[in-house]
Chain A
Amino acid sequence: MDKKKKNRRAFIKSAGHALAGLLMVVAIPKPGWAQRIHDIEVGEEIPDWLDHYWVYLIDTTKCIGCGACVRADKRENGVPPMFFRTWVERYQITEDNHVHVDSPDGGYGGFLPEDLAQLLTSAEKDPAGPGRGGGKGKNKVTKGFFVPKMCNHCRNTPCTQVCPVNASYQSPDGVVLVDKTRCIGCSYCVQACPYGSRYIHPEKHTADKCTWCYHRITKGLMPACVTVCPTGARKFGDLKDESSEIKKLLATQRLNVLKPELNTEPFCFYIGLDQSVR
């Protein structure tokens, strides 16, 4: 009997200890990230990050491949030579159904034939002669177009998921950014991106990518590549702005995204994207 009593007391005591231990675990302060962005009240501390959701639209039927966007991007963001936040690819499909893709220097200097001097002096009549991206017979180009490419700012981002230090993230207004003070340059994200839109900066040794010119769009300006586009092939806007042009275009145009089979949910849409574009 006495033993039983003792056992009960011991049990209550140890149960009390267990409860104290449990309370200790519960009492550990909740990490900040547990508080979701939607739980936070919009006040003075958050400027207008919840008022916008940015989206990009590229009309490949309008792109002339001048490379103005690539040059503007390099000037605006100080992108080092031979690295690109945005680039332009030229697709040419010949009579024998071969897809020829090129992007000399990312389209930085435009797409000029190498024998420019010959072009200017020769009296050759055939506009699709050698060096002009044309050809005869089975090399005749039957279909061609330019495809500007950049970060797709996916909603289901493969690149931010692999970041071990949470340096890469998606902002509340839908832009995928890299915090360079936290990035350790492991380049996991460079490998994870299926669109090849990230690179490791050769001097800073951190990941770098298109930010949709975050320093411009948050001041009411358009990204640099959009402002310089001479034909309006690049469009940018706010999905939360009911009267925006982009909203109308997205609602009325025939859209596609790059690599839809990967379910990355890109927020960079394309008009007139050919099936040969990868």
Chain B
Amino acid sequence: MRTPKHLKRALWIIALLFVAGNAVRLLAVPESFGQFGEFRGAHLSEERERDPVHRGSEVCGECHDERLEEKNNGAHGPIPCENCHFQPYAGDETHPEAHPEISQSPDRSQRACLTCHQYFPARPQAFPQLANFPEHIATNGPKLKKDDVGAHTLCVHCHNPHDPKIDLGQNG
């Protein structure tokens, strides 16, 4: 018995579809697809290739070791240098040569300090917060025994940002 024509034709079509389908698959599916799951496996390596931007305080300490030590021993110890020296509000001055992306002079305005220390009912109450700046100056200023304390308008005039805690016991 000869194979009927229509059966032969159908087989040919199936074979053709098989070849064409696999050809499309070969072209369309990326090489590493399915290596680790239903995704392009090479992307995992691509994603981890990028260099970190935040390098941590230790990198700053390689040159500025005294400043880093001062900071680490103070109340701002857990805060990495980048938090203030990488300020989005800061001016355009850039750090010389070595790392131009780092802003050399951080924001010294009230805004920089109050980002963390402004009083809010939503802030954890144990965290040091400032509700009223004039009142703060009026009560704590005289204890510093500085004549011109009333003229001070910035937090950094009294507080060292690297070691902000002022020991009032010694001064008055």
Contact = CB atoms under 8 A, between A and B. Distances in A.
B91 to A, nearest CB: 16
A31 B119 CA distance: 59
Which of the listed residues B1, B37, B121, B134 has the most CB atoms from chain A within 10 Å of its own CB?
B121
A182 B134 contact: no
B164 interface: no
Interface in B33-59: 33-40, 43-44, 47-54, 56
Interface residues on A, range: 35 or more
B61 interface: no
Interface stretch (B64-72, B92-100, B108-116, B142-150): B108-116
B88 A24 contact: no
B120 A228 contact: no
Nearest to B15: A24
A61 B125 CA distance: 10
B36 A123 contact: no
A53 to B, nearest CB: 14
B49 A128 contact: no
Contact of B115 (A31, A61, A66, A214): A66
A75 B53 contact: yes
Interface in B117-139: 118-124, 127, 131-135
Given A65-B122, A125-B132, A17 B36 contact: no
B83 interface: yes
A67 B115 contact: yes
A28 B22 contact: yes
Contacts of B36: 37, 40, 46, 49, 171-172
Interface string A107-118: 011111100100
Which of the listed residues A64, A111, A112, A172 has the most CB atoms from chain B within 10 Å of its own CB?
A64
Contacts of B30: 182
Contacts of A49: 36, 44
B43 A123 contact: no
Contacts of B86: 71-72, 75
A216 B89 CA distance: 25
A65 B120 contact: yes
A88 B49 CA distance: 28
Contact of A166 (B39, B82, B116, B153): B39
A91 to B, nearest CB: 7
Given A216-B52, A218-B48, A224-B53, A92 B121 contact: yes
A43 interface: no
Interface stretch (A141-149, A200-208, A237-245): A141-149
A179 interface: yes
Given A132-B131, A215-B51, A113 B118 contact: yes
Given A75-B86, A146-B122, A169-B39, A125 B47 contact: no
Given A6-B1, A120-B110, A230-B116, A169 B18 contact: no
Given A166-B39, A215-B51, A228-B83, A9 B131 contact: no
Contacts of B88: 71, 74-75, 108-109
A145 B122 contact: yes
A113 B30 CA distance: 52
Interface string B7-30: 100010011001000100100001
B154 to A, nearest CB: 10
Interface of A: 6, 9-10, 13, 17, 21, 24, 28-29, 31-37, 40, 46, 49, 61-68, 71-72, 74-76, 90-92, 108-113, 116, 119-125, 127-128, 132-134, 141, 144-146, 166-167, 169-172, 177, 179, 181-182, 211, 213-216, 218-219, 221, 224, 227-228, 230-232
17 contacts: A17-B3, A33-B34, A37-B37, A61-B124, A90-B120, A109-B89, A110-B115, A113-B118, A119-B118, A120-B110, A144-B122, A215-B48, A215-B49, A215-B52, A221-B56, A228-B82, A231-B124
Interface of B: 1, 3, 7, 11, 14-15, 18, 22, 25, 30, 33-40, 43-44, 47-54, 56, 76, 78-80, 82-83, 86, 88-89, 110-111, 114-116, 118-124, 127, 131-135, 153
